[in-house]
Structure 1
Amino acid sequence: MSELSSALRILAALDPVEEAVARARAACTDLRWHNALRKRMSECRAEATVRAARSSAALEGARFPIAFVREVIAGAREVPDDLSGTQLSAAIRVAAVAQELSEKPDALRGGLAHVMSKLSLAAGAGLVPDEQLGRPRLAGEEPGDLGGLPQAPGPAEVADRIGQLDELLADPTLPGLVVAAILQGEVIALRPFVVGNGLIARALFRIQLVSAGVDPTGVGVPEAAFLSDVQGYGQAGAAYTSGADVPGWIVSCATAVEKGAGEGRTVCQAVQAGKLPKTA
């Protein structure tokens, strides 16, 4: 067992973390057995992807009504020709990649760098030159997003810590939700790419939650929970980045999963009642 795996087990065993993870798992289990998922799983997952993309875009400052985002994804509307539109397009692309990858069991195991590269291409298109996409920052390049955090580490430390994340993902006995929280926190802390780090961090969180079986339905929307408390989300991320409160970050992520399962139930109820437009 690696030193990092041992440290993560200690974090997972802390009472506040263990209790928050248990609540999140119970909420996801309850969601899993919703009647709408028996015959209309694909519709529910599609709507969850809409809401995930909309929430993640809004966290980057690109706020659009859910109906507008739904129409854009359906091809019925075009995004504005401005920065907010570009950010929304990026969030939609990232959400689509996350949905595709999350359907594979243990999607991140043994291939984290490849997945991150794919997400970078989706997150940064139209925002920076193509040669800066799909690869971590080089020496002298600084991240252009997630401002207000301590200075991002250099390329060597980024590569080392991503390698350590691969070690965590290689251990199937570690709690999936805690690993997902660490994945998201590390990308926020490292900001390994020139742009799109926030979108990528949340996408990895979603992929791990679904592919590791925490929320096997993929209908939970923790991104909506993060959006509902932007200040708290930012503060928890900053505390993780500085090392001041790693357990608190994990608890905040678990709470978002719990609340996101509630959003998932709302999705299921809307699908079951036929309240979503056919473009969804």
Structure 2
Amino acid sequence: MSDPLAAIARFPGVPEAVDEARQAVDRLYRHRVLRRASPAVSTESSLRGARASAAIEGVDVPLDVLRRDEAHDPLVQGALRASAEMGRLGATWRKAPRQVLARLHVVAAAGLTPQEELGRPRAFDEASDPLSLGPAPAAADTAARMEGLLGLLEQPTKAPAIVLAAVVHAELAVLRPFGTADGIVARSAERLTLVEYGLDPKSLVAVEVGHLELAYGDALRAYLSGTPEGVGAWVQHCAAAVSLGVRETTAICEAMQRG
């Protein structure tokens, strides 16, 4: 059986970037604060990740506003709900990814799209484009590519979790299978993949913060090129986002250690 993800993992620059990110995660997991406060760190990381994910979509709300539950924008609320929902969806992600993606859209897009469209693949060709990626693929083409993506999740691969997570993230972000809140769904699916495929089992890494700090739209446009160089650049971007997410979570740990 072919392993296209393993081939991507060998693109120039990818092995080194992935290894650097993995080492950063390993160092984070040795932090002494995690011996007693791992759940609290994960909760704070998820909050920062949700804020960053909404900011990428164009709605930037300060953390203290989120902590006071004073952010009423539906996109921000959707990002927070998706972040909270991930903990309940992990066990299902490997077995029924279609179901998980639908549920993520239900919670992420509530208030942004009609009730009857929540969790359903778009039947129309138009989709929102907050990152100016250009027109989304036609609905029929999107459905076909989504089948291919779901197939990738079901077959074994020798590729590292970061590579799988990067491809899942990019395909959802560029296909925009639901038409609204697809970026929130894509970044949630990336984080779920990093958790469930072993890189970050405690969901500590605020990878969304890394995406916000980097040239996220440019990296997705490189992926859209379909060239080995472009796809490799996207995976390297995702690996760098993991490393920056580790830096963010390490700061959380240090703050907790100081009390």
Q: TM-score, normalised by structure 2?
A: 0.93
Matches within 5 A, 1:1-280: 1-2=1-2, 5=3, 7-72=4-69, 78-80=70-72, 85-102=73-90, 104=91, 107-138=92-123, 140-170=124-154, 171-229=156-214, 232-244=215-227, 245-274=230-259
In 1: Cα distance, 2:54 partner to 2:180 partner: 13
SS in structure 2 at match of 1:68: helix
Give 1:141 shift. Answer: 4.4
In the TM superposition, structure 1's runs of 4+ consecutive aligned residues that sit over 4 Å from their partners are none
Kindly provide the CA deviation profile for residues 31-52 of structure 1, in whole angstroms up to 9, marking residues without a partner as x: 1111111111111111011101
SS in 2 for 1:40: helix
Q: In the TM superposition, what is the alpha-carbon distance from 1:222 to its structure 2 partner? A: 1.2
Cα 1:147–1:42 shift into 2, 3 Å: closer
C-alpha RMSD of matched pairs (Å): 1.5
* Structure 1: distance between partners of 2:166 and 2:174: 12
Question: Counterpart amino acid of 1:79?
Answer: A
Structure 1 residue ranges without an equivalent (≥5): 73-77, 275-280
Q: How far does residue 20 in structure 1 lie from its aligned partner after superposition?
A: 0.3
- Are the structure 2 counterparts of residues 264 and 147 from structure 1 closer, same or farther at C-alpha, using a change threshold of 3 Å? closer
Say how many residue pairs are matched. Answer: 256
Following superposition, the deviation at residue 147 of structure 1 comes to: 4.6
TM-score for both structures, normalised by structure 1: 0.87
